[in-house]
Amino acid sequence: MPAAIAEELPRFLAPMLCSTGLPESADGWLLQVKFDGIRGQLRSEPRGPGNNRTACFRELDALHAQLARHRALLDGEVVVFDHRGRPDFAAVRHRLTGTPRTANYRPATFVVWDLLHLDGALGAPSPAARA
């Protein structure tokens, strides 16, 4: 693994975006999952969650608590699953406008796509990005 670069926790890092078609892969692995959720970044620092916009998704505070000793920036997607485990975008939208008790019935999950920054280290670029 390449040496990490010591950096302050950035306010935002541009995430990798989904694309159409099949990506090139030297090792034969191809995977691109699409969830119907809201894409976002979760920022965590020991002094607090920073600009906390999770008021509609209070159960995500537990993820911040797990990261409490670290400075981290995660790229991911807020998803609400139905009773069969399928993503339900209408439920995500309802959570944005619904009442707090909605969280107890249909909890949200932060599906992590990438760890962009951890304790002063930026994520290493992919082999394709270095080429």
Q: pLDDT higher for 3 or 42? A: 42
The residue among 17 and 110 whose pLDDT is bigger is: 110
Per-residue pLDDT, 128: 43
Phi, psi of 51 (to 5 degrees): -75, 90
What element of type H or E holds 103? helix 102-105
Let me know if residue 15 belongs to a domain: no
**Domain assignment present for 109:** yes
Do the bridges between strand 38-44 and strand 108-118 make them parallel or antiparallel, or are there none, so unpaired? unpaired
Output the pLDDT for position 89.
92
Domain range for 110 is 38-123
pLDDT tens-digit readout, 73-126: 888 899 999 989 999 999 888 888 766 555 556 889 999 988 888 888 776 444
Does residue 70 fall inside a structural domain? yes
> Is position 54 within any domain?
yes
Side-chain-facing half-sphere of 86: CA atoms under 13 Å: 3
Q: Which helix (H) or strand (E) holds 111?
A: strand 108-118
pTM of the prediction? 0.68
CATH number for the domain harbouring residue 96: 3.30.470.30
Q: Greatest CA span in the chain, whole angstroms?
A: 49
